[in-house]
Amino acid sequence: MDGLRYRLTLRLYRADKSFGPGPMRLMQGVRATGSLQQAADQMGMAYSKAWKTLRQAERELGFALLVRHSGGAHGGGSALTEQGRAFLERYEAMVREVDQAAETAFQKYFPE
């Protein structure tokens, strides 16, 4: 079974898909750059799609993930809300833990 590998994707649900890798990457980009536009650009995603993705996640989760600042002399920007930051940190920690558990199981059942 040369080259055998696995792939897991962690998604959280309420009524619909609430949060997963896409919103996580957008939020990580906003955390790093202070801009949803830049985060979307880094992912090769249209700003309108990034905005829609995070708005949907906010509706499903029931709280704001980002605070947005309109343009002006220095342009606009975005930042994570306190609740959004805490949620992202918990999700990132869960992904790391699930990835570690999956790797352990994979090595146990497919050690070749």
Domains of the chain by start residue, with CATH: 14-109 (1.10.10.10)
- Range in 16-20, 33-37, 48-52 with the lowest mean pLDDT: 16-20
Using the predicted structure, report yes or no on whether residue 36 has a pLDDT greater than 80.
yes
CA 106 vs CA 94, 97, 109: distances in Å: 18, 14, 5
Q: Is the pLDDT of residue 26 over 70?
A: yes
Q: CB of 20 within 8 A of CB of 11?
A: yes
Q: Categorize the per-residue pLDDT at 75 as very low, low, confident or very high, splitting at 50, 70 and 90.
A: low
Looking at residue 16, its pLDDT comes to 78
Predicted confidence (pLDDT) at residue 1 exceeds the cutoff of 60: no
State yes or no: pLDDT of 21 exceeds 60: yes
15 neighbors 105 (Cβ within 8 angstroms): no
The mean pLDDT of 25-38, rounded to a whole number, is 96
Give the per-residue pLDDT at 32.
Answer: 97
Angle between helices 36-43 and 47-61 (to 10 degrees): 110
Please tell me whether the overall predicted TM-score, pTM, comes out greater than 0.85 for this model: yes
Taking residues 23-38, what's their average pLDDT? Answer: 96
- Cα–Cα dist 62/110, whole Å: 41
pLDDT over threshold 70, residue 72: no
pLDDT of residue 71: 66
